[in-house]
Structure 1
Amino acid sequence: MNTADNAVAPRGGLPAGVWALGFVSMFMDISSEMIHALLPVYMVTVLGTSSLTVGIIEGIAEATASITKIFSGALSDWLGKRKLLAALGYGLAAITKPIFPLAPSIGWLVAARFIDRIGKGVRGAPRDALIADITPPEQRGAGFGLRQSLDTIGAFAGPLLAIALMWATADHFQAVFWIAVIPAFVAVALIVFAVKEPERPASLRRVRMPLRRSELRRLDATFWLVVTVAAIFTLARFSEAFLILRAQSIGLSLTLVPIVLVVMNLAYSLSAYPVGVLADKVSRPMLLAVGLVLLVAADVVLALVPDTTGLLIGVVLWGLHMGFTQGLLATLVADAAPAELRGTAFGMFNLITGIALLVASVLAGFLWDQIGPQATFLAGAAFALVTLVGLLPVRARLSMPNGQ
């Protein structure tokens, strides 16, 4: 589905459109992570909310995004257009950013987080389907890996900026939240002016009702297998807000708490693209298994080594597990879905994993409040081990690169 507008660029041999979408994600993540790196601590220390409340808010926010993705993905299949919906989602997220510094109560923050996640939901599935449309099948792992890497560069640059600004402003949360508004609008400008959508091939089947049962039946057993593995895996991967709370629980200062996301996302960004390239050449289930082992190790270290050294090791392992799994799961979805139903497939994938993330975050918050941080992370390790065992009998079906 490539056009001249998305001709192969010399940088890594990937289409220019993939690079542009990666930079869009990077700038939006700088904005979002400047806020999210501080938000859990702001809610707990300034507004007096509990860890369970943080877990519920985070879970509901991500579940909202996931539910929205199923409809935006299906709509992009029906329209045969992806960019319009992706730009709308980025725009919606950008206009909610000023609410964070203005919010006088937890209710306003919940509303802002909710609307922001609707924006994420509107853009997520169409954007991922657009990447699959632009990228040649033999480079699909690299394409999704690159997008994850650039996205994650923003995710560690945001907390790093938050640390510097918290120091410069003497822990003035609202000032940092205001500065975070700027890169969000840069992201919107980039997707509007720098991303070109490929022409829809005339031979591609038109989809009139993507969520109709007869259409969903075109998503075959391999697709649902990927979704099942991802859902069980997501139960082990609760919100990163609990990494921030872990840092606070071992005595890290408010100014330095965001370093957790800086370190995690640095490890994530450095691993995602190389793993994506590797996924085009070797067994994908093997790479998923490595990611699950890394998650088990991260959880065990975070649970049992409650000091700064243990925190840093655990966070690095957490970031590496993300690099080994997140782009790869998106690649597997793109491989398994028919081209005309990619938006619907990504939407369904994100809906189910989003529900799993809601359950995981609420359970993590409950265990944290009732038993302690150790219980939260050890429960995550247990779910990761269950996923690893479940991956063994299905590895042959998921092994073939490029969906061939």
Structure 2
Amino acid sequence: MYLANSRAADQATRRVGGTPRWHRVPPNVLALGVVSLVTDISAEMVTAVLPLYLVLGLGLNPLQFGLLDGLYAGSTALLRLVGGHAADRWRRLKTVAGIGYALSAVCKLGLLAAGSSVAAIGAVLAVDRAGKGIRTAPRDALISLSSSPETLGRSFGVHRALDTFGAFLGPLVAVAVLWASLGSYDAVFVFSFCIAGCGVLLLVLLVKDHRPPSAQPTGVRGRPASSPPPSGGEAGEAREPVPLRTMLGLLRISSFRRCCVWAAGLGLVTITDSFVYLALQRRWEIESTWFPLLALGTAGSFLLLAVPLGRLADRVGRWKVFLAGHAALVVALLLICGPATSPWIAVVALALHGCFYAATDGVLPATAGPLLPEHLRASGLALLQTGQALARMVSAVLVGLAWTLWDLRPALIATTAALLVVTLAAAAFKPWEVKR
């Protein structure tokens, strides 16, 4: 028995290149996952209570909420480009990501000063999302550059699983704080700030920076690949700045350009989380006390499926899994607007909503990362995420408008039909065939 177990262990070790299975995820990816876990507890504390506060507390109609939700989703867009370009230009991925994390942390206190002013709340949320926009591309570039190409799906899956565990805990912490503070939203904001500050500290202490080469033989201005390294440094230590036109020039890579177009097209017909939860609350008449817990259904499914679907994407093809996630969202929306009223339908819809994120959130950057040169990895991911964020901003406004004009069910049916058409088109005209 001992010899059999030893042989099995040796074979498992050889299959992963001499590394035990639990070491297959790089330490830097795990560190970034821990930072995201803590930060998402803070962020989801606010996100879990905000839709209910704005719609029921301040009395916003669906169109007003759609505009604010679109601002919340889209204010990251252009600053993703700034964050990605700055990280590549300065070759300081960790520093730029840290600036974004710190900015979002400070904004939690800004919600205290905003009070009940919708304009002030919108401004604070825009700055908070700006911090997220600044940090996202450098963080994903760090994950991509810290992992081997054949395990990118797994690495992003592990990171997103840790991130989602924080999203799972966030609403629970928010409910606990509301209960302990007798319903004080200010207490939620202060506690959220403290947790976000811990996330910034963990980033500084645990995460190691990765400085990719500053130039590659891709026609980008910089030291030629055949030139010797500068004196006193290693190859790849040249400090030639990356011009902005190089970031936009990444769209000349046909496979990456098609990836950006389809991601934006799908984002344009993807309903935002807040509308999903508001639709569930209205359809099943869920009490306001339990509204923050709706996000737990999504987060729980995301948490359970992120790593398995990331590994599956590495094996069968990341684009296939990415589109399958959108198909899961189509089914979830059909359940929400369908005739059945069983509470289990809501549970299944939330589980499918989490499946959608598990199959798309980390799989998309894992798909696009290998298409980009290392020294422009953050810039390229920023371009990809910017197009997707702008599309989802427009989507939020359109869904809010449709809800105002036609009511909830017709708005959901129209959105679902559009999402199904674009998903089928993306499957029929796939941009490439890459298994790894």
TM-score, normalization: structure 1? 0.92
Whether 1:354 and 2:389 are equivalent positions in the alignment is yes
Structure 2 residue 53 is the aligned partner of structure 1 residue 42? yes
User: Of 164, 167, 171, which aligns to 1:155?
Assistant: 167
CA 1:207–1:256: 2 relative to 1, 3 Å: farther
- Equivalent residues of 1:77, 1:207 under 8 A apart: no
DSSP 3-state at the match of 2:59: coil
- Residue 90 of structure 2 is matched in structure 1 by 79
Deviation, 1:383, is 2.6
How big is the shift at 1:173? 2.4
For 2:295, the equivalent position in structure 1 comes to: 261
Give the distance between the partners of 1:368 and 1:190, measured in 2 at CA.
Answer: 42
**1:399, distance to aligned residue in structure 2 (A):** 2.8
Between structure 1 and structure 2, the one with the greater Rg is 2
Counterpart of 1:261, as a letter, is: A
**2: distance between equivalents of 1:285 and 1:372?**
34
Contact kept, 8 Å, 1:9 with 1:15, in 2: the verdict is no
Secondary structure of the 1:115 match is helix
* TM-score in terms of structure 2 length: 0.85
User: Does the aligned pair in 2 maintain the 1:26–1:150 contact within 8 Å?
Assistant: yes
Measure how far apart 1:16 and its partner are.
0.6
Say whether residues 1:252 and 2:286 are aligned partners.
Answer: yes
Counterparts in 2 of 1:397 and 1:158: CA distance versus 1, 3 Å: same
Which of 327, 332, 335 is the matching residue for 2:370? 335
Q: How many residues align?
A: 394
State the alpha-carbon separation in 2 of the partners of residues 290 and 23 from structure 1: 28
Does 2:330 correspond to 1:292? no
Further displaced range: 218-227 or 344-353: 218-227
SS at match of 2:395: helix
Go from structure 1 to structure 2 and tell me whether the alpha carbon gap of 1:53 and 1:195 turns closer, same or farther (over 3 Å shift).
same
Asked if the contact 1:219/1:336 (under 8 Å) is kept, the reply is no
Deviation, 1:324, is 1.0
Q: Report the AA paired with residue 127 of structure 1.
A: R
Match of 1:99 among 102, 110, 114: 110
Matched, 1:373 2:408: yes
Q: Decide whether aligned partners of structure 1 residues 172 and 386 sit closer, same or farther in structure 2, where only a CA change above 3 A counts.
A: same
Q: Deviations over 1:38-88 (max 9, x none)?
A: 111101122222221111112112211121011110111111220000001
> Which residue does the alignment assign to 1:222?
255
For the 8 Å contact 2:272–2:392, the answer to whether it is kept is yes
> 1:185, 1:150 → 2: CA distance?
18
Mapped partners of 1:76, 1:341: distance in 2: 9
- 1:128 aligns with 140
Equivalent position of 1:190 in the other structure: 202
Choose 46-55 or 80-89, whichever is displaced more: 46-55
**RMSD across aligned C-alpha pairs, in angstroms?**
2.1
Counterpart amino acid of 1:72?
G
| Conserved 8 A contact 1:150-1:269 | yes
Distance 1:349 1:170 in 2: 43
Name the structure 2 match of 1:171: 183
- For residue 193 of structure 2, the aligned residue among 177, 181, 197 is 181
SS at 2:176's partner residue?
A: helix
8 Å Cα contact 1:67-1:350 kept in structure 2: no
Higher relative contact order (CA 8 A, sep 6+): 1
Deviation at 1:217, TM superposition (A): 4.5
Gap runs ≥5 in structure 1: 1-7
Checking the alignment, whether the CA contact within 8 Å between 1:94 and 1:184 is kept in structure 2 is yes
CA distance in 2, matches of 1:325, 1:344: 20
Matched position secondary structure for 1:93: helix
Listed one character per residue, the Cα deviations across residues 85-135 of structure 1 (whole Å, up to 9, x for unaligned) are 000110011111112234222122112101101111111111111111111
Q: Secondary structure of the residue that 2:316 maps to in structure 1?
A: coil
**Partner residue of 1:5?**
none
Shift of residue 369 of structure 1?
Answer: 1.7
Unmatched runs of 5 consecutive residues or more in structure 2: 1-18, 214-233
Cα deviation for residue 147 of structure 1 reads 1.2
2:308 is equivalent to residue 274 of structure 1: yes
Amino-acid identity (%): 30
CA contact (8 A) 1:55 1:239 kept: no
Shift of 1:174: 2.4
Give the 5 Å matches for 1:306-325: 308-325=343-360
Distance 1:12 1:256, change over 3 A: farther
Cα distance, 1:210–1:265 mapped onto 2, change above 3 Å: farther
